[in-house]
Amino acid sequence: MDDNKRPLYLPFAGPAILESPLLNKGTGFSEEERIFFNLEGLIPWEIETIEEQVERAYQQYTNFNNDLDKHIYLRNIQDTNETLFYRLVHNHISEMMPIIYTPTVGLACERFSKDYRRNRGLFISYPNKDRIEEMLNNATRQKVKVIVLTDGERILGLGDQGIGGMGIPIGKLSLYTSCGGISPAYCLPITLDVGTDNPHLLEDPMYMGWRHQRIAGQEYNDFVEEFMQAVHRRWPEALIQFEDFAQKNAMPLLERYKDQYCTFNDDIQGTAAVTVGSLLAACKAAKTQLCEQRITFLGAGSAGCGIAEAIIAQMVSEGITEAQARAQVFMVDRWGLLQDSMPNLLPFQQKLTQSAQALAHWQKADENISLLDVVNNAKPTVLIGVSGAPGLFTEEIIRAMHQHCPRPIVFPLSNPTSRVEATPKNILHWTNGEALVATGSPFEPVVVNDITYQIAQCNNSFIFPGIGLGVLSCGASRVSDEMLMASSRALAECSPLGQHGTGSLLPDLEHIQSVSKFIAFAVAKAAIKQGYALPCSDELLQQSIEDNFWKPEYRRYKRTSF
């Protein structure tokens, strides 16, 4: 117990304290607390330290022999004793991150209604659209500072999961706390329940959401607008992270709200920031610049176009023109390479097309230019997969890329594991260990010719906890492109490969908290520079980051007089 911290005064006693996950300490309550709060007899005799409790919980955890059961077990601790949950995760971060987050969280979303146990967060269902304000007031947290919001329509590469998508905001916020030190008391996951178009869920008798086709168009936009206004009235300073919205809504919602509220879209901007950070580190190790690369994407959706625009911005900052940068970025989607002659492209895709003139000398089979055609003609040095479709980086494509690029950078970023464009094992074998590989989901190290290659996890989880901590520590009112760019550069500075020329592309998860603090500082400095936060000295900013960083330790409780 941290006796140096001032005690927390509680206005109530008895079993209600044990039922409150933010306050519960289980056998961690002291003798004095047990007497003052009428807890005697409600918990076993022994008074335990949190480390003793962690030991028991970890033993129980290891008894489960599949990841989903481990996930359910951990979620149960989270829902009964949050401090213990975060201490357990803190002590075993590398082992438990894939269990509380990607990839296991994907399965948990698919099985959400089947495995549902306890309430967490808010479900704002469309039929209750006139009572959003009341629902926000019902939240179990009063002082909300970070909200992760989904409508469940594009959950990882798993499609529409309806309210099952709630697993994602819960998982993301678990990382805001365990990686970014945001107190769980400030975090609120919210799902907008606007129906589902997933026929399996609509027919599933266990499905717990509003059993209705998704509302769309004006009705949908009005509902989101209603929600944004209400949430802003309730918690005007809260950071709102949009997560796993379908392509048709993700970018328009970002455009609508980014200059109005403190908000960002993690799939578009968080992913862009982590990918640019990883590429900057890779370029530094290879003593080249990003603006010298030719980059091909498979998947021109929210993530793909978000990353592409951030890469272009970085290339321009390195000294080439925007036109030159755009000419080096090739976006491939279902109908092949995006070309300016293509009808029906979305506005954010139209800026990322190649012109007929630029392709005039290309050798290709037909009108629709395939990924293989692009690889053979554009000779990319970087290949990024954000299609959500597995296996599309075939042996032929990877070998073709390797033929003209001795050290190709290949990032199959689609999640979860089942959606990866190619496994690191295959990519490294096809390239004789010469590719630099990073994936969205975690993968085991790969051995080729007796050399072991660690696989970096290029996932926005390296970025959003630091952004949240930075925003909270300086009181930023917006999340700007400059703040995101600052987060990329800060991440690149933390790369062992970028810094020393050897080692892993991204930092070890064991260091994620110091990485988040470093990113937070850079993000807050950028916010201050742009006038989105009040000026303060570097020392005060550092102090604020430390002060805001919550630690999973029990506090002493005192009783207020009733």
Ligand X SMILES: NC(=O)c1ccc[n+]([C@@H]2O[C@H](COP(=O)([O-])OP(=O)(O)OC[C@H]3O[C@@H](n4cnc5c(N)ncnc54)[C@H](O)[C@@H]3O)[C@@H](O)[C@H]2O)c1
Catalytic residues: 101, 172
Q: Which does 298 bind (CB under 5 to 8 A by kind): Mg ion, ligand X, ligand LMR, none?
A: ligand X
To ligand X, the closest distance from the beta carbon of 300 in angstroms equals 5
List 110, 244, 309, 373, residue binding ligand LMR (CB under 6 A): 244
Q: Which does 299 bind (CB under 5 to 8 A by kind): ligand LMR, ligand X, Mg ion, none?
A: ligand X
Name the residue nearer to ligand LMR (CB basis): 441 or 473. Answer: 441
For the record, the structure tokens of 375 come out as 């690889």
List 266, 309, 333, 493, residue binding ligand LMR (CB under 6 A): 266
Task: Rule CB under 6 A: say whether 156 interacts with ligand LMR.
Answer: yes
To ligand X, the closest distance from the beta carbon of 280 in angstroms equals 16
Question: How many DSSP H helices and E strands does the chain contain?
Answer: 25, 16
Residues 6+ apart with CB under 8 A from 418: 103, 157, 390
For the record, the structure tokens of 316 come out as 């321009």
Burial (CB count <10 Å: 0-12, 13-18, 19+), residue 366: exposed
Q: Does residue 154 have a known ligand-binding role?
A: yes
To Mg ion, the closest distance from the beta carbon of 166 in angstroms equals 13
Q: Which does 325 bind (CB under 5 to 8 A by kind): Mg ion, ligand X, ligand LMR, none?
A: none
**Taking Cα atoms as reference points, which of 50, 47, 19 lies closest to residue 34?**
47
Burial (CB count <10 Å: 0-12, 13-18, 19+), residue 559: middle
Q: Does residue 267 have a known ligand-binding role?
A: yes
Name the residue nearer to ligand LMR (CB basis): 241 or 328. Answer: 241
To ligand LMR, the closest distance from the beta carbon of 153 in angstroms equals 12
Q: Which does 333 bind (CB under 5 to 8 A by kind): Mg ion, ligand X, ligand LMR, none?
A: ligand X
List 82, 110, 153, 244, residue binding Mg ion (CB under 5 A): 244
To ligand X, the closest distance from the beta carbon of 460 in angstroms equals 4
- Which residues sit at the interface with ligand X, rule CB under 6 A? 154, 156-157, 247, 267, 271, 274, 298-304, 332-334, 386-389, 392, 413-415, 419, 440, 458-460
In one letter, which amino acid is 169?
P
3-state secondary structure of 82: helix
Name the residue nearer to Mg ion (CB basis): 353 or 460. Answer: 460
Give the integer Cα–Cα distance in Å for 305 and 347.
Answer: 11
Task: Rule CB under 6 A: say whether 460 interacts with ligand LMR.
Answer: yes
Q: Does residue 244 have a known ligand-binding role?
A: yes
Cβ atoms of 155 and 168 closer than 8 Å:
yes
- What does residue 380 show for φ and ψ, rounded to 5 degrees? -70, 155
To ligand LMR, the closest distance from the beta carbon of 550 in angstroms equals 22
Q: Which does 389 bind (CB under 5 to 8 A by kind): Mg ion, ligand X, ligand LMR, none?
A: ligand X
Task: Rule CB under 6 A: say whether 415 interacts with ligand LMR.
Answer: yes
For the record, the structure tokens of 390 come out as 């597995």
For the record, the structure tokens of 333 come out as 């989607």
Task: Rule CB under 6 A: say whether 421 interacts with ligand LMR.
Answer: no
Name residues contacting ligand LMR, limited to 276-335 (CB under 6 A). Answer: none
Name residues contacting Mg ion, limited to 59-118 (CB under 5 A). Answer: none
Task: Rule CB under 6 A: say whether 150 interacts with ligand LMR.
Answer: no
List 269, 275, 459, 495, residue binding ligand LMR (CB under 6 A): 459
Name the residue nearer to ligand X (CB basis): 349 or 473. Answer: 349
Name the residue nearer to ligand X (CB basis): 440 or 507. Answer: 440
Q: Which does 224 bind (CB under 5 to 8 A by kind): ligand X, Mg ion, ligand LMR, none?
A: none
Give the integer Cα–Cα distance in Å for 26 and 360.
Answer: 70
> Which residue of this chain has its Cβ atom nearest to ligand X in the complex?
301
Task: Rule CB under 6 A: say whether 160 interacts with ligand LMR.
Answer: no
Task: Rule CB under 6 A: say whether 267 interacts with ligand LMR.
Answer: yes
To ligand X, the closest distance from the beta carbon of 419 in angstroms equals 5
3-state secondary structure of 264: strand
Cβ atoms of 451 and 428 closer than 8 Å:
no
Q: CA 166: distance to chain centroid?
A: 14
Task: Rule CB under 6 A: say whether 153 interacts with ligand LMR.
Answer: no
List 53, 102, 198, 423, residue binding ligand LMR (CB under 6 A): 102
Cβ atoms of 482 and 530 closer than 8 Å:
yes
**Taking Cα atoms as reference points, which of 103, 204, 111 lies closest to residue 157?**
103
CA distances from 74 to 45, 55, 289 (A): 24, 14, 43
Name the residue nearer to ligand X (CB basis): 144 or 400. Answer: 400
To ligand LMR, the closest distance from the beta carbon of 59 in angstroms equals 28
CA distances from 504 to 285, 443, 456, 497, 552 (A): 11, 13, 7, 5, 29
Fill in the per-residue mask, 252 to 271: x = in contact with Mg ion (CB under 5 A), - = not in contact. Answer: ---------------x----
To ligand LMR, the closest distance from the beta carbon of 441 in angstroms equals 7
Name the residue nearer to ligand LMR (CB basis): 307 or 469. Answer: 307
Q: What angle do CA 52, 56, 60 make, to 5 degrees?
A: 165
Cβ atoms of 189 and 169 closer than 8 Å:
yes
Give the integer Cα–Cα distance in Å for 316 and 307.
Answer: 14
Give the integer Cα–Cα distance in Å for 479 and 264.
Answer: 6
Task: HSE, CB side, 13 Å, CA atoms: give it for residue 417.
Answer: 13
Give the integer Cα–Cα distance in Å for 277 and 284.
Answer: 11
The residue written with tokens 């030991």 in the block is 55
**Taking Cα atoms as reference points, which of 470, 394, 413, 424 lies closest to residue 272?**
413
Q: Does residue 128 have a known ligand-binding role?
A: no
In one letter, which amino acid is 24?
N
Q: Does residue 198 have a known ligand-binding role?
A: no
Q: Provide the H-helix boundaries in 431-495.
A: 464-474, 481-493
- Report the binding-site residues for NAD(+): 154, 267, 415
Binding site residues, Mg ion, CB under 5 A = 243-244, 267
Binding site residues, ligand LMR, CB under 6 A = 102, 156, 244, 266-267, 415, 440, 459-460
- Report the binding-site residues for a divalent metal cation: 243-244, 267
